[in-house]
Amino acid sequence: MASLLKTGIIVLAVIAGGKRCLAVDGEGDIQRSGEKGVEQASDSAPGPSSVKNDFQKFWQKHKKTWRKRTTDTTFDECSGYRLDHINASGVMLLSSALNQHGKLQISDPFFWEYGQRNSIYSVRNYGRFIKYLVFTSVDETCVVSKDYPWHINNERGKEVYDKYDEQKKKECKGDSVDDLFDEAKQECDCLLIGDDTYFAQGNVYYDLLVSDETIGTTPSDCESTYETKIKEKAQERRENYLLYTDKCAQSQGSEGAATASLQ
């Protein structure tokens, strides 16, 4: 099947030393690059948000964007987003990727709500995925985002959390899912929310997201900011991948929509 629509439950794992828990509970398919699963999108959106958000401004101007470069280790060539609709609460986005036949495949939409600290987030039955907007180009045709994937992981999450010392347990415990936005708590590999829900942090990565109109002439301020961000200590060992290639432009006339049966 196309890499866009790969499925399966990710095996729970704990990396020695870092004690990182990278897994999910339940039957949901893990998203590989921000929003890869096929899920029935709802026409009803959450209640209005009072948060002023630059993602809203970006999507009001651009209906088609590409993930030009990324440090996401599970990426797809020609990955990008298409705007389905937008309102005061968030944006409904479809994602794209090149399938094994060289055809640009478009997924069903997911809702991304405007969140704290200039972010958007998507709630799934297997986790919550947060994108922070860290830079917008002067002409507002390009943004750099920092992405935090959080996967629900109860069984092994508890096992890892129980190994923390008492101070670490206090630091990595929250009262609600809003604590996923807490900068201090984002240092935790596993976060306990409430009494029995454990979230495992996936690999944090940077994206260079560019509008379709300017993909060939990406603003230099956006490129330079991305270059600076990927040199951070936590990112320096990560590869930088070029997702937009000649194949993406060539395949645009052959876009195909995903169906609910493609899981």
Strand-pairing partners, residue 180, are none
Contact between 112 and 147 under an 8 Å Cβ cutoff? The reply is: no
- Rounded Cα distance between 241 and 234, Å, is 16
- Rounded Cα distance between 99 and 81, Å, is 15
Residue range 82-87: mean pLDDT, rounded = 97
CATH architecture, domain defined by 63-258: Beta Barrel (2.40)
Query: Six-digit token pair at 38?
Result: 């096929």
Q: What is the pLDDT of residues 160-171, one digit of tens each?
A: 999 999 999 999
Tell which wins on pLDDT, 192 or 1. Answer: 192
At 121, which helix (H) or strand (E)? Answer: strand 119-124
Q: What is the pLDDT of residues 177-223, one digit of tens each?
A: 999 999 999 999 999 999 999 999 999 999 999 999 999 999 999 99
Query: Six-digit token pair at 172?
Result: 């990595």
pLDDT at 50: 54
Residue range 52-81: mean pLDDT, rounded = 94
- Most trustworthy range by pLDDT among 51-60, 99-108, 138-147, 246-255: 138-147
Range in 64-78, 218-232, 244-258 the model is least confident about: 244-258
State pTM to two decimals: 0.79
pLDDT at 256: 54
The mean pLDDT value of the chain amounts to 81
Instruction: Please provide the DSSP assignment of 31-78 as one string.
Output: PSSS--S--PPPS--PPP-----HHHHHHHH-SEEEEEEE--SS--TT
Q: What is the pLDDT of residues 14-33, one digit of tens each?
A: 333 334 565 445 433 333 33
